[in-house]
Chains A and B, each alone.
Chain A
Amino acid sequence: MSTIESSLEAGWKLICAVEDIPVLGSRVVKSTSGDIAIFRNAEDEVFAVHDKCPHKQGPLSQGIVHGRQVTCPLHSWKIELDSGNAVAPDVGCTKSFEVKVEDGKVLLKA
């Protein structure tokens, strides 16, 4: 059994290929628990957070990605992509999801 198959068995869900996400960009996954934003940064790290800014629910997926952060398009809050925490001095947190890359495929636990 390939690693992907065992991951799928363990409850991970196949989302897309890493190349389907633009570098320093994002894609939105529709899920039963709301929209989830999947980000890819310049180091090809992949992150997943609930697509709502803790400030005024702006769609984080539409923001500019830099380092391991995204800037919300509505009022420029900066959110840490790995934890979902707002960067100080702003305070707030959006839910983050487990995500990993195997064989060039993005897998999400949500």
Chain B
Amino acid sequence: MKKQKLVMIGNGMAGCRTLEELLKLAPDLYEITVFGAEPHGNYNRILLSPVLAGEMTLPEIMLNDLDWYRDNDITLHAGKMVTKIDRTKRKVIASDGTEADYDRLLIATGSTPFIPPIPGADLPGVLAYRDIGDTEAMIEASTKYKHAVVIGAGLLGLEAANGLMLRGMSVTVVHLADWIMERQLDKPAADMLQASLEAKGMNFLLSKQTEGLIRGEGGRVSAVRFKDGMEIPADLVVVAAGIRPNYALAESAGIYCGTGRVRGIHVSDTLQTVTDPRVYAVGECVAHRGIAYGLVAPLFEQGKVAANHLANFGIGRYEGSVTSTKLKVTGIDVFSAGDFSGGADTEDIVLHDKQGGVYKRIVIKNNRIVGSVLYGDTADGSWYFQLMKDQQDIHSIRDHLMFGQNHLGDAGHKGENKAAAMADTAEVCGCNGVCKGTIVKAIKEKGLFSLDEVKKHTKAASSCGSCTGLVEQILASTVGGAYQAVSAHDKPVCGCTELSHGAVRKAIRDHKLLTIPDTMETLSWKTPNGCSTCRPALNYYLISTWPHEAKDDPQSRFINERAHANIQKDGTYSVVPQMLGGVTTPAELKRIAEVAEKYHVPTVKVTGGQRIDLLGIKKEDLPNVWKDLGMPSGHAYGKSIRTVKTCVGAEHCRFGTQRSMAMGIDLEKMLFGMWSPHKVKLAVSGCPRNCAEAGIKDVGVIGVDSGWELYVAGNGGIKTEVAQFLCKVETREEVMEYSGAFLQLYREEGYYLERTVHYVERVGLEYVKKHVLEDADKRKALFERLLFALQDAKDPWAERYAADAAPAVRREFEMLEI
């Protein structure tokens, strides 16, 4: 089949990202031609500031070098500016006469710097700050001249000023408004930023209107004059007074580019121009729903949607972006997002430590974050941004909102929360031994923009995940505004689909999907049989949504759940028999001892969950070990109920108020065979001394004289989280019903590999209370659904060593010989 022709005008970040996404989805659909006015491949424009500052070099910021175009069979006309689009004949014409026909056209012409109409703006020595050419001109000027004036104290102006200062120039920043970065910062934050830039040697002239640029003797600019008559010397003037969408070409082709305030190529949610559906546009040249974005993150989102439609998938709409800003000046942390102008209906939470150089302001409206400004300590910027994007109700966490998420983890980096200030040799990921320097290097050299990419390339944050926050910060401080945290709500399950966990769960329920192949077909999975990330998730969603109807697929389970034992680093397995409530008998202990001797078990260990672990067992021995033990599986290997830890309780303890051992045994029996999004641990203590450590369990039960207190969503692992008080009940039956209902809610709504703590954090404790406490019918229904799902739960070990076990079950443990 003859390929369609796709022509792209503009060879910048938005356009090339669209092509990359398109090539991923439909590598052979189009014959692609690209026109770029600059004589380079595609480079990372955001990193021009570090180049100017001498912290990076040009080759380091190339994203797509010329080889990339060649390898993907893309015809690149670098250095050729398109001057005409002929929509009738469907072709574009460049200034040198080069023509290209198109079936579909993608306009990504970006933006142009706005140069205010001031006399002398056309003098030599007056520059805008937009591309490699401008950057090189500034670097060259810095070697010859002394005085630089930057007009405009926005993000770009300050980065330019900082770069020129580091290159040895005396720099004055001139600004029309009363404080710097007034679009991103409020006055207190701006004042602190200004003070620290002044301490570095930068000069500021605020509330100053430029009247004209003065021509010196050699014809070059020599001074800047202001309306108030003041004049300052200037051998180099950088105008950074904002950008304007570059829509002239499109407009000349009759494509609607708006009138009045919002100008730009008007596009729909599919990124098609409103005028001509064959013509797409992405990036800074675009006006979408009345907004023209000047930051890179929204452009990437647009690119993704545009690529999807260009690839004829037709899924996905671009619905606008919420943006955040970060200043890339080494050693200074500034973060801003959303609306911080305040107003009668908004509330402020402010922390201001002038001497300590920290300012944080969170703006709240109707219990939701609508804006935030952070200076000095921006560690929680991405968290606030996330809460804002997700429009999460922050009512219940309001009192500790200001103190941050602390999701930097307790392991390894106590209190370390300034990614920018960390040494390159400092270890970030304690699991995989990855240092900050390694991460920064990978981000820069490989052009990484997302957390997933960093995980893949460096392995940082890819094991336990406790350093995720820190890695996100490093990413944010390295790529600046290009980083956009992905909202957990719409994050795709994996690379096999665009759908989120929530969307997949819902589809399985709504369409009554019962098998993995059906689910993948219905939801248009991109891979033939998924991957090791999505298949276990789908398997869980199916069996938890449709118990006794959906069939469990062992091949979609992680090996531990398939072998019903825990794989160890040398490929052997560990065996943990069930020991209800941590209570055992001499007979059981004898059998365990005999098995350990018979199979030469190298290590016998007491677990954290009050059981006994036999480590180092060969896979082919597992069925015989289980048979000899004659005890049921303890499920110590699964995303499932693990164990119920108990203290001695009123049975023996002189302080005990309730019979905690019996309660624990009842709970563990009830939950036997329960699969869940992640592992589930319980504990029951017989008095408030809480010897069973119920405060850090998924469900913690603490006996008091008058009944039982129930706590939920605690976690003793990666990050210690204290369980939250759910309610107090009186009877044993109530303990079972309330904790069962909570667990069933989690089982039905949790995302795969989401612990209860994260589930409750996502939906809010209020929500849990609404379902489990306030509505007795809902609670009883939840509890019934749990009991239904668990009825007839079989011991997986007995099923496997049974004499009549099916060959398909047995062969998992049988080796072949030749």
Contacts and interface: CB of A to CB of B under 8 A. Distances in A.
Nearest to B517: A42
A20 B527 contact: no
A41 B530 CA distance: 12
A74 B569 CA distance: 7
Interface residues of B, number: 29
Contacts of B571: 57-59, 62
Given A22-B808, A67-B527, A62 B563 contact: yes
Contacts of A28: 815-816
Contacts of A15: 816, 818
Contacts of B530: 66
A67 B532 CA distance: 11
A57 B568 CA distance: 12
Interface stretch (B209-217, B415-423, B554-562, B789-797): B554-562
B491 interface: no
Contact of A30 (B569, B808, B811, B816): B816
A62 B567 contact: yes
A4 interface: no
Given A24-B529, A42-B529, A71-B531, A64 B818 contact: no
B815 A56 contact: no
B456 A23 contact: no
Given A29-B816, A42-B528, A89-B456, A64 B569 contact: no
B71 interface: no
B817 interface: yes
A108 interface: yes
A58 B569 CA distance: 7
Given A62-B567, A64-B532, A23 B815 contact: no
Nearest to A108: B818
Given A22-B555, A67-B529, A29 B811 contact: no
Contacts of B532: 63-64, 66, 71, 76, 78
Contact of B817 (A29, A59, A71): A29
Interface string B424-446: 00000000000000000000000
Contact of B528 (A29, A58, A67): A67
Contacts of B528: 42-43, 67
B815 A29 contact: yes
Given A63-B532, A71-B531, A30 B558 contact: no
B536 interface: yes
B527 A30 contact: no
A15 B817 CA distance: 7
Contacts of B456: 89
A93 interface: no
A28 B529 CA distance: 22
Contact of A66 (B462, B535, B569, B816): B535
B365 interface: no
A109 B535 CA distance: 32
Contacts of B509: none
A95 interface: no
A108 B818 CA distance: 9
Contacts of A42: 528-529
A24 B815 contact: no
A31 interface: yes
B457 interface: yes
A28 B527 CA distance: 26
Contacts, number: 84
Given A24-B529, A42-B529, A73 B818 contact: no
A86 interface: no
Interface in B502-535: 527-532, 535
A57 B571 CA distance: 9
Given A20-B811, A27-B811, A62-B563, A89 B457 contact: yes
A62 B815 contact: no
Contact of B559 (A24, A62, A67): A62
A78 B816 CA distance: 24
Contacts of B815: 27-30
A29 B620 CA distance: 12
A73 B555 contact: no
Contacts of B817: 29-30
A78 B533 CA distance: 11
Contacts of A105: none
Contacts of A100: none
A54 interface: no
A110 B818 contact: yes
B574 to A, nearest CB: 14
Nearest to B816: A29
Contact of A74 (B557, B567, B811, B814): B567
A66 B529 contact: yes
Contact of B555 (A30, A65, A78): A65
A25 interface: yes
A101 interface: no
Contacts of A43: 528
Nearest to A59: B571
A110 B817 CA distance: 12
Contacts of A16: 816
Contacts of B559: 62-64, 73
A4 B398 CA distance: 73
Contacts of A23: 555
A71 to B, nearest CB: 4
Contact of A29 (B535, B554, B555, B818): B818
Given A24-B529, A56-B569, A73-B558, A64 B536 contact: yes
Contacts of A41: 529
A78 B532 CA distance: 9
Contacts of B557: 64
Contacts of A57: 571
B814 to A, nearest CB: 8
A30 B818 contact: yes
Contacts of A24: 529, 555-556
A74 B457 CA distance: 18
Contacts of B569: 56, 58, 74
Interface string B544-572: 00000000001111110001000101010
Contacts of B463: 75
A71 B527 CA distance: 15
Nearest to A31: B818
Interface string B683-712: 000000000000000000000000000000
Contacts of B531: 64, 66-67, 69, 71
Contacts of A27: 811, 814-816
B27 to A, nearest CB: 16
Interface in B659-704: none
B618 to A, nearest CB: 11
Interface string A47-89: 0000000001111001111110101011110100000000001
A50 to B, nearest CB: 13
Nearest to B557: A64
Interface string B452-485: 0000110000110000000000000000000000
A62 B572 CA distance: 11
A54 to B, nearest CB: 15
Interface centre among B462, B532, B563, B816 (most CB of A within 10 A): B816
A75 B532 CA distance: 12
Contacts of A63: 532, 559
Given A15-B816, A42-B529, A67-B528, 7 more contacts: A15-B818, A22-B554, A24-B556, A56-B569, A59-B571, A73-B559, A78-B532
15 contacts: A22-B554, A24-B529, A27-B811, A29-B816, A30-B815, A38-B816, A42-B529, A57-B571, A58-B569, A62-B559, A64-B532, A64-B559, A67-B528, A76-B532, A108-B818
